[in-house]
Amino acid sequence: MTPKSLLARATAVPGVAYLLVALIVAFSILGPGFASAPNLRNIGVQSSILLLLALPMTFIIMSEGLDLSMGAVLGLAGVTLASLLAGGVALAPAAVAASGVGLVFGVINGLLVVRLGIPPFVSTLGTLGVAQGAALVATDGQSVVGIGPTLPSLYASAWMGLPFSVLVAVAVYLIFHAVLYKTRFGTYVFAIGGNRESLTLAGVHTDLYHIGIYALGGLMAGVAALLLTGRMNAGHPTAALGMEFDAIAAVIVGGTSFERGNGWLPGTLLGVLTVGVLRNGLNVVAVSSSLQVASIGALVIVALVIDSVRTSWRERT
């Protein structure tokens, strides 16, 4: 194996993979208990909600868009779910209602972006305000409690040692993976980002699928609300604010980019895990809080610098 082909192989691996491995090794050495089964399980649980948001975010970013409203919509859906459960509604219809709330906001986002032509950053910033406002006004900033035992016990359940939230995350990932790489909708997603006109010329209702991408984002925010509400045993209007930024960072760190309209879904999974491993590892190693805050920013930047270096090396080989 020549050095050149070794370099070619090395640069074919996305930066996030190196980062993830480096972090895992470092934390395993520095933190006793990091690589233990309970802790790995924790990382899974802590990352599942973010993954649910990052997967549709990948599609949205691939379509050269952005969704800043996910955290707020998650909050509103969670509050809806909790209020219904507290009011005696059964879990299944309440969950459908919460997902419905998410779906509605997703469709609104899609309409604003696709029909009215308002840039995604602005559209979703606007819906963020509306969703957050609605949730705050409805709850006066308080948690909604008294949701009964059904959801919390479902959340706490496990199957073959894997917690419920991890199972949901894995299942959703597999679904998204199949959709993107094996269905026509998936090819449309690529096309909407890369070459929208040719898709329309081919007779496809491009606008419809484009709106669908945003609707998917809202829907997943609603589904994620199920997990978060189960985790907190309450609905809270602002608990998830800011998660969409983490999701965006995870997607970009994972290799999908804003401009080129291409995307790599496994990269999103790696990105989410990297963020989860970092946050968890910093706690296990008991790094001081201000250093934790700085590290998260450094991680995001380092991942992209690695990719930038990688690309320039590849261009040379």
Partner 1 sequence: MSTAAAQMARRRVLSGELAGFMYRVAGVVLVCVGLSLATDAFLTVSNLLNVLRQASLIFLVASGVTLVVLTAGLDLSVGANVGLSACLAAAAIKSGAVELGIVTGLASGTGIGLLNGLMVTRLRVPPFIATYGMLWVVHGITYWYMDGQTIYDFPERFRALGSGYLLGVPIPVYLMTACLAAGGVFTRYTIWGHQIYAIGANPEAARLSGVPVRMRLNLVYTLSGAMAGLASIVYLARLNSAEADIGEPLMLPAIAAILIGGTSLFGGIGSLSGTLVGAILLTLVLNGMNLLTVGANWQPLVTGVIVLLAVWIDVATRRRAGG
Partner 2 sequence: MGHGRFGRLAFLTVTAGVLVSCAQARDGADGEQIALFTKNQTNPYFQSIRLGADDAARQMGVEIVHYVPTRPDSIPDQMSQIEDAIIKRPDAVVFIPVDFQAMVPGVGQMNAAGIPVVNLTDRAAGGDFVSWVGCDDRTLGLNAGRYLLERMNGRGNVIILEGVGGSANSKARVGGFLQAIEEAPGVTLVASQPGNFQRLQALQVTENLLQAYPEIDGVMAANDSMALGAIEALDAANRQALVVGINGTKEAVDAIKAGKLVASTDCNGFVQGCIGAMVAIRHIRDLPVPAEFQFPQPVIDSTNYGDLDLPDEQRSCPSWESVAGSLATSPAGGG
How far apart CA 83 and CA 204 sit, in angstroms, is: 41
Per-residue x/- mask for partner 1, residues 129 to 148, rule CB under 8 A? xx-xxx-xx--xx-------
How far apart CA 222 and CA 250 sit, in angstroms, is: 20
Task: Tell me: does residue 288 bind partner 2 (CB under 8 A).
Answer: yes
Task: Tell me: does residue 160 bind partner 2 (CB under 8 A).
Answer: no
How far apart CA 300 and CA 189 sit, in angstroms, is: 25
User: Looking at 6, 8, 10, 13, which residue binds partner 2 (CB under 8 A)?
Assistant: 13
Which residues have C-beta within 8 Å of that of residue 229, sequence separation ≥ 6? 78, 81, 82, 147, 151, 235
| Best CA proximity match to 89, nearest among 98, 55, 156 | 98
CB-based contact 254:141 (threshold 8 Å): no
User: Looking at 25, 298, 301, 305, which residue binds partner 2 (CB under 8 A)?
Assistant: 25
Cα-based angle 273, 191, 104 (whole degrees, multiple of 5): 70
Which does residue 95 bind out of partner 1, partner 2, none, counting CB within 5 to 8 angstroms by kind? none
> Is residue 225 exposed (0-12), middle (13-18) or buried (19+ Cβ within 10 Å)?
buried
Residues 188-247 that bind partner 1 (CB under 8 A): 245
Residues 67-126 that bind partner 2 (CB under 8 A): none
Identify which of residues 153 and 311 has a Cβ nearer to partner 1 in the complex.
311
**C-alpha 214 chain-centroid distance:** 13
Q: Which two tokens stand for residue 33?
A: 């208990």
Task: Tell me: does residue 127 bind partner 1 (CB under 8 A).
Answer: yes
Task: Tell me: does residue 17 bind partner 2 (CB under 8 A).
Answer: yes
Q: How far apart are the first and last CA of the chain?
A: 15
DSSP string covering 88-120: T--HHHHHHHHHHHHHHHHHHHHIIIIIS---H
User: Looking at 89, 97, 107, 125, which residue binds partner 1 (CB under 8 A)?
Assistant: 125
User: Looking at 15, 19, 34, 63, which residue binds partner 2 (CB under 8 A)?
Assistant: 34
Task: Tell me: does residue 257 bind partner 2 (CB under 8 A).
Answer: no
- Which among 17-25, 91-99, 120-128, 218-226 is the span making contact with partner 2, rule CB under 8 A? 17-25
CB-based contact 80:235 (threshold 8 Å): yes
How far apart CA 234 and CA 240 sit, in angstroms, is: 13
Q: Dihedral, CA atoms, 74, 75, 76, 81, nearest 10 degrees? A: 80
- Which among 48-56, 199-207, 225-233, 297-305 is the span making contact with partner 1, rule CB under 8 A? 297-305
Task: Tell me: does residue 149 bind partner 2 (CB under 8 A).
Answer: no
Task: Tell me: does residue 12 bind partner 2 (CB under 8 A).
Answer: yes
- The structure tokens 């194996």 sit at 1
How big is the site for partner 2, counted in residues (CB under 8 A)? 52
Which does residue 126 bind out of partner 2, partner 1, none, counting CB within 5 to 8 angstroms by kind? partner 1
Task: Tell me: does residue 162 bind partner 2 (CB under 8 A).
Answer: no
CB-based contact 71:131 (threshold 8 Å): no
Q: φ, ψ for residue 141 (rounded to 5)?
A: 80, 0
Task: Tell me: does residue 173 bind partner 2 (CB under 8 A).
Answer: no
Identify which of residues 58 and 132 has a Cβ nearer to partner 1 in the complex.
132
Interacting residues with partner 1 (CB under 8 A): 112, 116-119, 121-123, 125-130, 132-134, 136-137, 140-141, 245, 248-249, 252-253, 257-259, 288-301, 304-305, 308
- The residue ranges that bind partner 2 (CB under 8 A) are 12-14, 17, 20-21, 24-25, 28-29, 32-36, 38-39, 42, 45-46, 49, 136, 139-143, 145, 152, 228, 231-234, 236, 239-240, 242-243, 264, 266, 279-280, 283-284, 286, 288-290, 292-293, 296
